[in-house]
Amino acid sequence: MSLSETKATEGRKPLIAMRGITKRFGDFLANDGIDLDIHAGEAHALLGENGAGKSTLVKILYGLLESSAGSIALDGQAVSFASPEAARAAGIGMVFQHFSLFDNLTVAENIALVLPDSEGMEGIAARIDTLTRRYGLQLDPKRDVWTLSAGERQRIEIARCLLQNPKLIILDEPTSVLTPQEAETLFATLEILRLEGRAILYISHKLEEVRRLCERATVLRAGKVVATCQPREESVRSLAALMVGTHLVDVRAKPNDMLGPDRLTLNHLSMPAQDMHGVALKDVTLSVRGGEVFGIAGIAGNGQDELFASLSGEQLARQGVAVQIDGISVGREGINLRRQYGAAFVPEERNGHAAAPDFSLSDNIILSRHALGDVTRGWTLDQANAKALMRDIVEKFDVRMSGADPAARTLSGGNLQKFLVGREVSRAPSVLVLNQPTWGVDAAASADIRQRLINLARQGAAVLVISQDLDELFEIADRIAVIHHGHVSAPLITRETTREEIGLLMGGADATQESLAHAH
């Protein structure tokens, strides 16, 4: 790893110099004294796992958030952007992961919206034409946005950005919504922009892309800069190691003699992608034994949601035998039958998937428990019992809330997650499957949730945790497998593996492991 700067940028004044940027949310330190230099004509990558503080940092740069401490200099002048308008006026443009376009308007109309009123529609069409020729941004001004693909929509956002003639363009996970072909087109455009002398800040966790596009990279971990490097001189392996951190934390000793028989088994589970950006599951075989916490590591978008849906029964497998709970084939059975066989599920998205945000907590108990008989009497609801269960969970799991039975959306992320984990754990399930159980949850609540999962496993349940947080998996999992492009690797015993080994598998760099999983 080299900490020196490339020759191209050496000795020049940076376009953007961020110094000591710190951002607190309550007692959570999202950015902790971050320094970042970006030079004109450079493509600079901002690397890090989810929650490392990348989004917070660029939101501060783009005027969406105010930093708690630190300074930003643009061309050597101290600046402070009160709003994105101010940042744009100063020459900073941003293309978000989620587009803000009007579906029912045409391409030209959507672009006109960000320009001064004086510009006529003919003028705009001409300008789009110029952009198309100069940057290869193929756009038909007259098309309605709703007819366009994600890649075309992104081109509108880029075009909007370029019409402001920015010195720096920030792209947030730009390829996450693109097909490989669309991504190629994007890379070509970015190369032209860079050669024009514009700076590009490229946020991604796709390491191959970063190695290809960017001369320099700043790696964030837990809100801090852990390295500045030249990605082309690094391997995917070393970049992954930088992202996930190389030091080992102490893993709690776990009594292995308590392990019971296989309780949750996947046998050659394959599932085609459900939509264009979905991931196909390829021949996934794994088994989780009673008494253990089994971790599935992986970078977002490698099939975690699909795996969860196949485990929960929200997506049915082709063969019943593909998913087994306590030896019973349930692959063709829906979520409620799986619950009746003793399984419980906690999806990643709290508001809208695990819980109905506008429903009261007691109604949210009914949501996942109505098939189990304790909150229903025939086809009527037993709301009194649902309320009693709710109060019980709130007390045992220390859920902080206002009111006797508030709507789910009024709870903070950590408290709602404690409630939702409590909803399932208090059933004493034999199998518990969780997707990103502590994503966006404060440290205290995360620790509490992790302890509950370990306790549940020690009582004999099989606990499967899908998580992008390696620290979490190293803390609680007995075995860890890695999901990459819909393949799940052979599991590694946590105490006998390292972060580097897992990080390597997460990047998909180890072909032998992948083909091994394939051959199963």
State the residues that interact with other proteins by CB under 8 A: 83, 85-86, 88-89, 312-314, 334-336, 339, 345, 347, 349, 352-359, 363, 366-368, 370-371, 376, 379-381, 383, 407, 410
3 state DSSP class of 490:
coil
Phi and psi at residue 84, in whole multiples of 5°?
A: -60, -30
Q: Between 357 and 460, whose beta carbon lies closer to other proteins?
A: 357
Residue with tokens 């098939």: 371
Q: What is the spatial distance between Cα 92 and Cα 153, in angstroms, rounded to a whole number?
A: 20
Q: Are 48 and 219 in contact (CB under 8 A)?
A: yes
The residue (of 120 and 352) whose beta carbon lies closer to other proteins is 352
Contact 251, 494 (CB under 8 A): yes
CA angle, 67 as apex, 213 and 214 as ends, to 5°? 5
Residue placing its CB nearer to other proteins in the complex, 92 or 131 = 92
Which stretches within 270-334 are classed as H helix?
304-312
Beta-sheet pairing, 199-203 with 43-47: parallel
Q: What is the nearest approach in angstroms of other proteins to the Cβ of residue 312?
A: 7
- Smallest separation, CB 362 to other proteins (Å): 11
Q: Which is nearer to other proteins, 65 or 183 (CB)?
A: 65
Q: Provide φ and ψ at 191, rounded to 5°.
A: -65, -45
> Closer to other proteins at the Cβ: 222 or 337?
337
* CA–CA distance, 341 with 264 (Å, rounded to integer): 11
Distance of closest approach, residue 382 Cβ to other proteins, in angstroms: 10
Provide, rounded to whole angstroms, the least separation between the CB of residue 407 and other proteins: 8
Question: Would you list the DSSP string of 342-376?
Answer: TEEEE-S-TBTTTB-TTSBHHHHHHHHHGGGSSSE
Cα distance between residue 180 and residue 474, in whole Å: 33
User: At its nearest, how many Å lie between other proteins and the CB of residue 73?
Assistant: 19
Output the DSSP codes for 146-215. Answer: GGS-HHHHHHHHHHHHHHT--SEEEEESTTTT--HHHHHHHHHHHHHHHHTT-EEEEE-S-HHHHHHH-S
CB of 123 to other proteins, least distance (A): 22
Token output for 299: 């970078």
- CB nearer to other proteins: pick between 227 and 354: 354
Helices 499-506 and 236-244 meet at what angle, rounded to 10? 120
Report the residue number, 96 or 359, with the smaller CB distance to other proteins.
359
Q: How far is the CB of 91 from other proteins (least distance, A)?
A: 12
- State the minimum distance, in angstroms, from the CB of residue 296 to other proteins: 19
The residue among 196 and 358 lying less far from other proteins, judged by its C-beta, is 358
Q: How far is the CB of 355 from other proteins (least distance, A)?
A: 6
Instruction: Output 270 or 315, the one with its CB closest to other proteins.
Output: 315
Q: State which residue, 112 or 190, has the beta carbon closest to other proteins.
A: 112
Which CB sits closer to other proteins, 73 or 356? 356
Please classify residue 3 by burial: count the beta carbons closer than 10 Å to its beta carbon, then call 0-12 exposed, 13-18 middle and 19+ buried.
exposed
49, 224 contact by CB (below 8 A): no
Q: Is 487 left (phi over 0), alpha (psi -120 to 50) or beta?
A: beta
Q: What's the token pair of residue 435?
A: 């997707």
- Least separation in angstroms between residue 367's CB and other proteins is 5
d(CA 186, CA 175): 8
- Report the nearest approach of other proteins to the CB of residue 338 (Å): 9
Contact of 361 with 408, CB cutoff 8 Å: yes
